């Protein structure tokens, strides 16, 4: 790409670049990528997770679509959905109808909820000449059942993409892609660890912008940006403030407005972990990148190493224990359950997670938002009271 050398960026340049990408509803990064790779395709995907390695190995650019917040008025998007659902699909459809997604050659809708599933149908009707795929994920983690099913889903996806791009996905290419995404997760983990140890050096908004930009950029560019950021963030001068440490959970799909993230921190809570861009860290371990069957490596990684998210049916209550473990590991003081209004996966999980927090004696409180929320004073009061309560009485 003819983009500036990310490796020479200082901290503020990295954040400004990321903000530019996140704010840009015309996806000019995508247009530039296509100019630099004229025969290659761009595939948009909805939250939470898709195996981006396969798209990369097909020579394509995977780009995450997380709605448009309050940056576009929803005029036609509303006509496609009933009132009582979340806001994200309205702005995604509005982007489609407004032509903001014209550079995209296809879209993948992972199975997470009925809204995303239905949106794949709307895209099929409104975008007839493009590749549209509803990608199903197994709820059964037995290798012989869920594993066989998931492999067939991935093989079908590979077949489709190869036809679309007119190029093959061979073992070597897929191993290279797996390796690049392993590196990406490692760099993100370093950044996450740094921030958890020094949350005053990088605000939650800056951290969010970098991660969100990572779902737009190519993995090669994003790795370069992260490498320079990991160096430059060490030089940020900032005093540590008397704030509590919180984990924010429930916002893995429709994204909270930046003002909301800022409000939580300004109210006295350092956000030391969140799930705003959950798909970036879907695998807890490296996926083997030197095998003769990389598709199997991706399948096994999904079955054995993926996090237990709200997109997964959890009969053993692993998600509650996983959250409690995270809180303890990060030495956090509490949990904020922060979910979009009408988000079935997040809100159905919430009572179970709250009960798990009670069992583990972890403080928590909850609220709901929508992506175009403009008033934060009630949330500021709630978060501020939560912080004061913990500081004064714990």
Point out which residues bind ligand SF4 (CB under 6 A). Answer: 86, 88-89, 112-113, 115-116, 253-254, 340, 343-346
Using DSSP's 3-state secondary structure scheme, residue 346 falls into helix
Closest CB to ligand SF4 among residues 11, 109? 109
Closest CB to ligand SF4 among residues 50, 297? 50
Distance (Å, rounded) from C-alpha 94 to C-alpha 126?
11
Write down the least CB distance from residue 256 to ligand SF4, Å.
11
Closest CB to ligand SF4 among residues 105, 344? 344
Closest CB to ligand SF4 among residues 188, 347? 347
Nearest 10 degrees: Cα torsion 205, 206, 211, 215? 90
- Exposed/middle/buried for residue 127 (C-beta within 10 Å: 0-12, 13-18, 19+): middle
Write down the least CB distance from residue 64 to ligand SF4, Å.
13
CA distances from 380 to 243, 264, 275, 386 (A): 14, 6, 20, 10
In SS3 terms, 86-144 reads as CCHHHHHHHHHHHCCCCCCCEEEEECCCHHHHHHHHHHHHHCCCCEEEEECCCCCCCHH
- The residues pairing with 270 across neighbouring beta strands, listed in sequence order, are 245
Provide the edge-to-edge strand list for the sheet that holds 363-369: 269-273, 244-249, 334-340, 363-369
Altogether, the residues listed in the chain come to a count of 394
Write down the least CB distance from residue 350 to ligand SF4, Å.
12
Closest CB to ligand SF4 among residues 119, 283? 119
Q: Residue 268: left (phi > 0), alpha (psi -120 to 50), or beta?
A: left
Tokens 């030089």 correspond to 235
Closest CB to ligand SF4 among residues 84, 393? 84
Distance (Å, rounded) from C-alpha 180 to C-alpha 133?
24
Write down the least CB distance from residue 212 to ligand SF4, Å.
15
Write down the least CB distance from residue 282 to ligand SF4, Å.
15
Closest CB to ligand SF4 among residues 184, 249? 249
Write down the least CB distance from residue 48 to ligand SF4, Å.
8
Closest CB to ligand SF4 among residues 59, 345? 345
């Amino acid at each position: 790409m003819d983009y500036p050398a990310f490796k020479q960026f200082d901290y503020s340049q990295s954040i400004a670049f990321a903000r530019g990408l996140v704010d840009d509803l015309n996806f000019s990064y995508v247009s530039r990528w296509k100019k630099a790779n004229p025969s290659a395709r761009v595939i948009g995907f909805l939250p939470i997770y898709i195996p981006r390695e396969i798209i990369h190995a097909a020579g394509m650019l995977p780009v995450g679509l997380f709605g448009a917040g309050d940056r576009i008025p929803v005029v036609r998007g509303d006509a496609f959905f009933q009132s009582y659902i979340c806001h994200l699909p309205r702005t995604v459809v509005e982007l489609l109808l407004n032509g903001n997604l014209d550079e995209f050659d296809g879209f993948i809708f992972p199975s997470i909820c009925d809204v995303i599933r239905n949106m794949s149908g709307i895209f099929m009707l409104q975008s007839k000449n493009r590749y549209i795929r509803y990608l199903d994920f197994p709820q059964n983690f037995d290798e012989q059942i869920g594993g066989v099913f998931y492999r067939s889903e991935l093989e079908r996806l590979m077949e489709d993409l190869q036809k679309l791009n007119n190029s093959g996905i061979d073992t070597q290419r897929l191993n290279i892609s797996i390796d690049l995404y392993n590196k990406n997760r490692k760099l993100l983990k370093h950044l996450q660890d740094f921030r958890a140890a020094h949350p005053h050096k990088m605000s939650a908004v800056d951290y969010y912008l970098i991660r969100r930009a990572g779902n737009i950029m190519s993995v090669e560019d994003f790795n370069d940006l992260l490498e320079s950021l990991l160096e430059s963030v060490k030089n940020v001068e900032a005093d540590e403030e008397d704030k509590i440490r919180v984990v924010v959970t429930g916002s893995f799909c429709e994204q909270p407005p930046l003002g909301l993230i800022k409000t939580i921190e300004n109210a006295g809570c350092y956000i030391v972990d969140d799930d705003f861009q959950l798909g970036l860290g879907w695998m807890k371990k490296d996926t083997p990148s030197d095998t003769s069957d990389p598709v199997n490596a991706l399948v096994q990684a999904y079955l054995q190493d993926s996090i237990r998210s709200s997109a997964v049916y959890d009969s053993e209550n692993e998600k509650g224990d996983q959250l409690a473990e995270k809180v303890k590991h990060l030495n956090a003081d509490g949990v904020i359950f922060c979910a979009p209004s009408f988000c079935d996966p997040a809100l159905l999980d919430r009572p179970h997670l709250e009960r798990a927090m009670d069992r583990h004696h972890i403080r928590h409180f909850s609220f709901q938002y929508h992506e175009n929320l403009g008033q934060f004073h009630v949330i500021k009061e709630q978060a501020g009271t939560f912080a004061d309560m913990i500081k004064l009485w714990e």
